[in-house]
A = this chain, B = another copy of it.
Amino acid sequence: MGGKKSYIQNQIKRIRLARTDLTQVELARRVGATRQTIISIEAGRYSPSLELAFRLSHVLGEPLEELFQFVPEWD
C-alpha cells in the first residue's frame, strides 16, 4: 500500500484484561492463531488481517471499531 503514512492502534491487551480473564494462550487458541501473533499485535508490531480482526472482535465481544482505531494519514 504505497502512499501516505498511517497506522492502527488497538485495545486488545487492555480489553482482554479488563473484560475477560483470558490469557494470551487462550485468546490465541480461540481465534485460531498462535501466541506469538497475539503478542505481536498487542505490542503493535503489526496490525492483524481483517479476518483475524473480526475474530478478535467476536471472541472479545467488542465491536471492531472499539478494538481498533485508524490513526489517519499525515503527509
Contacts and interface: CB of A to CB of B under 8 A. Distances in A.
B49 A47 contact: yes
Interface in A40-54: 47-54
Contacts of A8: 50-51, 54
A2 B47 contact: no
A6 B49 CA distance: 13
Nearest to A47: B50
11 contacts: A1-B49, A1-B52, A2-B32, A2-B34, A4-B32, A6-B55, A8-B54, A48-B50, A54-B68, A54-B70, A63-B65
A48 B50 CA distance: 7
Contacts of A48: 50
